[in-house]
Amino acid sequence: MSLFLCVDCGGSKTSAVIADRSGTILGRALGGPSNFAYMSAAAFTDAVRVAVSNALRTCVSPPSINPVSLPPNTEIFASAWFGISGVDSLAAVANASAALSALLGIPLGPRLVVANDTHLLAAPLRLHNDIKHAVAAIAGTGSCVVSFQHEPSGMLSELARTGGWGWILGDEGGGFHVGRETMRQMMYDAARLSLGMETLPPSSLKAKVLERFGIVGVENAPEVLPVVHLPEPSTAEAAASVPSYLLVAREKRLSELAPLVFEAAFKDKDPFALNVLKACAEGLADQIAMLCREPGEDPSLKPRAVEANEAMLCFGGSLVGIEDYRALVREALAKKGHVFKYVEFVDDAAAVGAVGLAFLGRT
């Protein structure tokens, strides 16, 4: 038992990283989406199996050309840490843990840690001896915000959380929100035009969205509504007769607009697109601020809240991986009086987690 496995399970991909006891990364691989809330236990397990079995190819002796079968014949994992999008309750943790224990051959218990994917982001808190609190904010396809405390044992304990409610109820600042807000603002502008209130400047984002869905003329923007609301075809025969974008799950039709919005905002300098992103950044900042104590606020009113100026903000996810977007979130936080002592973007959460597990294994 000499290997330490960390797996970051998200709405877009599964990332598995394996380290040895010294903290040297021996293997890594990717799998498909593995948001536990949006898929069956079997589909989730399959995504994890693909990532872990491929990551193991360079960890066995001799190295394997083919993926390594799971569960392994011997107990090769000293411990494993899973950060899973969609694991937001004790019941979800129990269900995911049971499936992963059977897949990996690791008994339920302290060697198998299963938590929400935000837990991986807070790992850099261990590197700062002058603070003991962190807020982890994920904004990729969806979003979630969780605050943590660094315990004397070296482990991180969760203090509070908000978000992670899915594309219908939340995901503020994530890809779903960006796509949804784009559509909403286009509808508002169409309403303004119908009233004869104003003449709106051209927008490269509006043009990109309308072109994507085969709509001609900004005055016809309301024709995007069926794109949002129509379900996917239920039969192959029906699928053959509809545009390709209607074959995509409804929520993905929104989240897949995010690259268009970022390109229009930061490359084209489109004011409409930039305003969409400012609104989304504000939504994510509101979520982060909810877990923080207001400057000068009585600590007894929110005893589990953190003080930003004595805490770390850890970002993770594809959207906040874009520096200009992170800047919008930090600007919105500053306006609310929350300026964190340290801010870090965790680009490779699974690698950070695997190395952290190896460190704990040596102590």
pLDDT digits (tens, 9 = 90+) for 16-68: 999 998 889 999 999 998 988 888 889 999 999 999 999 999 988 888 899 99
Model pLDDT, residue 362:
62
Instruction: Please name the residue ranges forming H helices in 151-174.
Output: none
Model pLDDT, residue 136:
93
Instruction: Please name the residue ranges forming H helices in 73-203.
Output: 90-104, 118-121, 175-194
Are 349 and 127 in contact by the 8 Å Cβ rule? The answer is no
Q: How far, in Å, CA of 53 to CA of 49, rounded?
A: 6
Peptide bond into 67 cis (omega under 30): no
Positions of the chain with pLDDT under 70: 1, 153-155, 197-198, 218, 235-241, 361-363
Q: H helices then E strands: how many in the chain?
A: 12, 10
Q: How far, in Å, CA of 119 to CA of 88, rounded?
A: 11
pTM: 0.77
Model pLDDT, residue 142:
84
Q: How far, in Å, CA of 202 to CA of 217, rounded?
A: 11
Model pLDDT, residue 214:
82
List Cα–Cα distances, 39 to 10, 42, 80, 234, in angstroms. 12, 8, 22, 18
Model pLDDT, residue 246:
72
With tokens 């007769």, the residue in question is: 241
Model pLDDT, residue 61:
83
Pairing of strands 156-163, 143-150: antiparallel
Q: Which of 93, 106, 126 is nearest to 356 (CA)?
A: 126
Pairing of strands 312-316, 156-163: unpaired
Model pLDDT, residue 239:
64
* CA 355 to the chain's CA centroid: 21
Write the CB contacts of 172 (distance below 8 Å, at least 6 apart in sequence): 143, 163, 280, 283, 284, 286, 287
The token duo for 298 is: 């009585």
Angle, helices 41-55 vs 90-104, to 10°: value is 50
Model pLDDT, residue 333:
96
